[in-house]
Structure 1
Amino acid sequence: MFSPAVLGQVFVDGIGLSAIYILIALGFTLLFGIMRVVNFAHGAFAMLGGYALYYLYGNLGLPYLVAAPAAALIVAFVALLLERIVYRFFYQRMFQSMIGLLGLDMAIMYIAVIVWNAEERSVPPSTDALLQLGSLVFPAQKLIIAGIAAIALLAFYVFTHYSRYGLAMRAAAQDVDIAEAQGVNSTAIYRLAFFIAIFMAALAGGFYAQTYALSPFVGEPQLMIAFIVVILGGMGSIPGVALGGLILGFANSFLGTFYGSAASIFVSFGAVILLLIFRPWGLLGAKEA
């Protein structure tokens, strides 16, 4: 049962899942860390990313390496309209954002049902090629997804640590009043952080749709994934998101392979409950005074 070939497959699947989970959760924790917004509509934007990839790649036939980022960019640019008319009224208002953005999530989801109906669709894989490493055989698509996600995460790291606007985002996350006193335009920084967060959610949503299936309701499990990852790692902690995504991705791959999806879900939520009881600030989060 625990043969090297099967364990190797679990490892490869874990890499792919972890990449998707980290992308989904990173956008979620970015909005919370900078604007103190609990984005209950996060999964809806991931769902829209899946549909954008479905049309650009599945229908129009654009090259995959063009279609994947282009789909995420389209969703992020369209989302800027919602940033202007909805999100900006919830910045620094954590509890109000929970209720307001839950309503937005439901609205987007059921508009998607009206537009596309509830039928499940499948997004074609980026390639049908299989890779063989010894006795291990696995789809090349999993490594392509992990590679694109790794590039996106590396670009995000470089941006936040070495660019002027990235450093301004980090300053605003620490203390927006002090950042504004130093000349940071908080409105522009909020808009930029929102764009990046939605881009990553939509990119992950396209990968998720390829891995599982696409329907107007796929945003809900992705929202739950984001919650679990940020709770594991610590709300607002970007290193915590990376750690939480790796833990959840490899745990789901292992448990799902050997014990089924029900066991995977049970253990995931059980771990979250225990963590909230004994370490509510997460594995790498900061304990509040």
Structure 2
Amino acid sequence: MRWIEAAFKTEGADIDELCEKLTAMGAEGLVIEDEADFRNFLEANRQYWDYVDEDLAKRYAGVSRVKLYLPDDDGGRASLSRMAGVLGMEPDVGIVDDADWENNWKQYYRPIPVGERLLILPEWEPIPSDSPRRILRLDPGLAFGTGSHATTRMCLNALEKAAAREKFVLDIGCGSGILGIAAMVLGCAMVVGCDIDPNAPDIALKNAGLNGITDMTFKIYAGDILKNAALRETFGSGYDIVLANIVADVIIPLAPIAREFLAPHGVFICSGILDGRQDEVAEALADAAFAITEHRHEDGWHCFSAVPH
């Protein structure tokens, strides 16, 4: 089925009024795109990232509009004409197919070999019959963390060296669950994870299920580990591997906490560290009684492996 995509441009202060008018005329599923809202969201959550993708910022630059979708038929065109007439506004109009929404994004996700042993496979891709690698199934549409970004690749490479049978893993900022799932695929015995996103447990467990992993050995919690002492107590200590693919501003205060989670022989793998922040993180690791054993650098990002000393 084909749809008319109509975008009505307006001022940010007038968006609510425009939405009310469109709703009163029968419009449903309105999509609001507003630079002011985007900037406010970034400011309110700035502690969770070091940068914003340039293309994403450009997409919202100077934007204040409301989008709606109508069937591409006589009825849809008549409805749009009526709305435009009542509003006295001429929308930007395009045509999209159902397939554009449902499947086109999948073209950007292909099997990704990582390190020497892993192959990250989108859930719709067939399993290669001749691959010697261990398969990690993932739904890339669910959350950040698909293996394509340098921060995740570096973590996976470091994890591949550290993972082994009977090891227990803590994944802080687990997102899609990719790192914890990789640990299980590589033979680890148990993964506990957490994320500030309340949807993370469902998302990570869904991805784990694609790999035959159940909540018996893969447990995910929602919460802020820096602020929630009860959550930290729930996790306990003695982990062989602690993972944190987050940002420098979280890793720095996290370092002494990660030290408490680790077994004496354990390793802390942290990534998501933008160029220019690596020295701050290295200093925080040293202050938390860690010795850096490996420093990876790729595409402007850094990843440290560190052990207690």
Which category of TM-score, normalised to the shorter sequence, fits these structures?
under 0.3
Q: Greater share of helix residues, 1 or 2?
A: 1
- The TM-score with structure 1 as length reference comes to 0.22
Q: Which has the higher contact order (CA 8 A, sep 6+)?
A: 1
Q: Greater share of strand residues, 1 or 2?
A: 2
- The TM-score with structure 2 as length reference comes to 0.21
**Larger Rg belongs to:** 2
